[in-house]
Each structure stands twice: as structure tokens, then as C-alpha cells.
Structure 1
Amino acid sequence: MSTITPRGAETIGTNWRPLAVTGGLVGILGVLAIALPFGTGIAIAYIVGAALLVAGLVHAGQAIAADGWTGSLWQVLLAVVTAVAGILILANPLLGLVSLTLLAIAYLLVDGIAELLASVRMESGTGRGWIAASGALSLVLAGFLWVGFPADALWLVGFAIGVSLVMTGVSMIAIAFSVRGMEGEFSAPSDTSRGV
């Protein structure tokens, strides 16, 4: 009697090593972020500021180059607002860091909810407990950020992102090692018919 397995299980079962290595790298980045929370927060502020500036310039170029100016003026204004937001964050990353605290809260909430929902849909024995723990921790960190806002914004963003990265990395490694034993199950072709 043959069992039907989810399509993704074969891919993870035969390619668990890259998942484990990626989880290790994500975990190391998380440890660095925890060790240097203020620097991580400032770095995130600079990255977001630069991304907003580039996005605003590209958006403006596309709006101006578009055929016909119907609605293009609003697109140019949106591009200017985006670019100015990027310039303001680059000019004052501390103020940007306070603003990014609100974005970090939103990110952690979405990440936590997504991981909890993913853990509910996973089969038992595939690391779903680690995914659930990672999601729950993201929600707890989002709550801490909200309670300490804005006083803790200068260090808590980097710390919270670091802890979230560590938990995500650990959950990826746990999933990789939990499916590692399945490697042999999927590599040998089956003699039985695939029909139901």
C-alpha cells in the first residue's frame, strides 16, 4: 500500500541541507543583531531610507516616461513623497528608527500570525512546534515594542529583529533535521501505480 505525500515534502526531504545551512546563517545574523541592537537599528534605518529614496526616484522616472499624463501627476507626487521620506530617514536615522519601530511592530505581528497559521497547517513531526514557538515569540516581541514605544525604540528594534531571526533560523534547522530521515523515502522510485 502506497502513501500519498504532499508535493513539498519530497522537495524538503531531498534538499534538507540547504535549508539547514540557510537556517544557520539566519540564526547567526540574529545573534549579531542581538549583540549590536543599536547598530542594527541604525543600519535598518539607513537601508530603509536608501530603499525609499531609490524607489521614489525610479517611480518618478516611470511616471514621467509613461504615455499620456492622465494620473501621472499623482504618481509623481507619490514618488516625491517616497523620496523625501527616504531623504529624511537618511538625514536623521534616529528619528527614522523611531518610525521604524512602528514598522517593526507591524512586521512582527504579521510574521507571528503567518508562522502560527503555517504551524496549524503542517503535519506533526515536521517541526511545527518550532514554527509555532517562533510565531508566538514574534507576537510577544511585537507587544513589548508597543508597550515600550517610543522610549525603547533606539535599542529594542534591533534586539527584537535579532531574536526573531534567531527563532526563524532555529525553526528552519529543526525542520531540516526533522525531514532529513525522509531523504531515502523519496529517492527510490515506487513500483506501484500512481493511480488512485
Structure 2
Amino acid sequence: MSDWLKLLLLGLVSIVFGVFILGAPVVASVAVTAITGFLLLISGGLQVAGGFTVDGTANKFLSILMGAILLFLGWSFLSNPLQGTISLATLILILFMAGGIARLILSFQMRGTRFFWPTLISGVLSIILAGIIWSNSAADPTWLLSLIGILLGIEMLFNGFGLTFAALFMRSAEKGNRAA
């Protein structure tokens, strides 16, 4: 099977999964929260175990404390997946706002360069997106339950379209090489 065909199939599968995820964003959000909780439990356990091998009392204490926090977060996400999903969605909101503000500040340091406008627009769009999330969650807090699934579904669609276009480009390049 040629490389472009593999990419095309992968892109189409990604698009199909994106559509499914957008059809059930709450289920996808809770699934992401459960996976996150499981991964936090694993990393917390490893952190605690590794903490006992660290030299120095302060470092040992901090390492074990960090592991305990990760274990608690993992357990919390798995035992309360809906609250965990809302917590993750709130974190996404905060990250969009902080990233947008950081890019706004950075853009003004780039004034006079060709990077000013793209960076400024990127920052403004992140802040607008955070505002949309905030206003929708204020009107209906359960909307946050769908946020992670919606973002994941959109990313799967974008990824699928990108892979599909890359596959078609590779196919046309192969045809061009054969003709030459």
C-alpha cells in the first residue's frame, strides 16, 4: 500500500471519529477525563515510588508530596468524572485566556515586524474564545461538560482534513515524478 493511500485512510478515519465525537461531546469529554485520571494515577504512583530514591530530605518530601497530589487528582477524576470534566474545561478556559494575554503582550514587543499582526490576531482570538466559553458556562454550567469533546472533535476533523490533503498532495507529487 502506498504512503499517500495510508495517509488518506488515516485522514478519513480521523474525520469519521471527529463526527462521532461531535455527535456525543459529553461522552467524549468524560472519556478524556477518565483517561486523564488513569494517567494521573500512574504518574502519581511512579512519582511517589521514585521519591523514596531521591537524595535529600527536602527533595524527597517534595517528590513524594507531588506524587500524592497527582494520585489525589487521578482518584478525584475517576471517582467524580463529571466534576473532573468541569475542572479540565475550566483549566482550558484559563489557558486560552492566559495564552491570549501572553500573545497580546508579545505582539506589542514585535511591533514594526511582519509578526505583529498574526501574533496580535492570535491573541485576540484566544481571548474571544475564552470569553465565549466563559459566557456560555455562565449561562449554562453543564455546557462545560461538552467543551472538551467539542474541542477534541474539531481537532479530529482538522487533523483528518490535513491528512487527507497531504495524501492528495503526495499522490499528485508521485504522478508528477512518474511523468518526468
| TM-score normalised to structure 2 length | 0.69
> Aligned to 2:27, which of 39, 57, 65?
39
Task: Report percent identity of matched pairs.
Answer: 25
Q: Residues 70 and 102 (structure 1 numbering): CA distance in 2 closer, same or farther, change over 3 Å?
A: same
Runs of 4+ in 1 over 6 A off after TM superposition: none
> Aligned to 1:149, which of 99, 117, 137?
137
Q: Residues 142 and 15 (structure 1 numbering): CA distance in 2 closer, same or farther, change over 3 Å?
A: farther
* Corresponding position: 1:97 with 2:48: no
- Structure 1 or 2: larger helix share? 2
Letter in 2 for 1:83: L
Does structure 2 conserve the Cα–Cα contact (< 8 Å) formed by 1:145 and 1:157?
Answer: no
For residues 150 and 8 of structure 2, what CA distance do their matches in structure 1 show?
A: 23
Secondary structure of the structure 2 residue equivalent to 1:33: helix
For residues 155 and 129 of structure 2, what CA distance do their matches in structure 1 show?
A: 8
For residues 168 and 89 of structure 1, what CA distance do their matches in structure 2 show?
A: 27
Q: Could you say which residue in structure 2 is the equivalent of 1:183?
A: 174
Question: CA shift at 1:149, angstroms?
Answer: 2.9
Question: CA shift at 1:163, angstroms?
Answer: 1.9
For residues 134 and 18 of structure 2, what CA distance do their matches in structure 1 show?
A: 21
For residues 142 and 16 of structure 1, what CA distance do their matches in structure 2 show?
A: 37
Does structure 1 conserve the Cα–Cα contact (< 8 Å) formed by 2:82 and 2:145?
Answer: yes
Query: In angstroms, what is the RMSD of aligned CA positions?
Result: 3.2
For residues 147 and 179 of structure 1, what CA distance do their matches in structure 2 show?
A: 43
For residues 179 and 144 of structure 1, what CA distance do their matches in structure 2 show?
A: 38
Task: Note the alpha carbon deviations across 1:60-95, whole angstroms, 9 max, x for none.
Answer: 111213456561211110010011011111111111
**After superposition, where does 1:1-196 map in structure 2 within 5 Å?**
15-66=3-54, 69=57, 71-105=59-93, 106=95, 144-149=132-137, 151=141, 152-184=143-175
Does structure 2 conserve the Cα–Cα contact (< 8 Å) formed by 1:31 and 1:162?
Answer: yes
For residues 46 and 155 of structure 1, what CA distance do their matches in structure 2 show?
A: 14
Does structure 2 conserve the Cα–Cα contact (< 8 Å) formed by 1:26 and 1:168?
Answer: yes
For residues 44 and 177 of structure 2, what CA distance do their matches in structure 1 show?
A: 47
Q: Could you say which residue in structure 2 is the equivalent of 1:116?
A: none
For residues 45 and 80 of structure 1, what CA distance do their matches in structure 2 show?
A: 19
Does structure 1 conserve the Cα–Cα contact (< 8 Å) formed by 2:53 and 2:60?
Answer: no
Question: CA shift at 1:54, angstroms?
Answer: 0.9
Question: CA shift at 1:182, angstroms?
Answer: 0.9
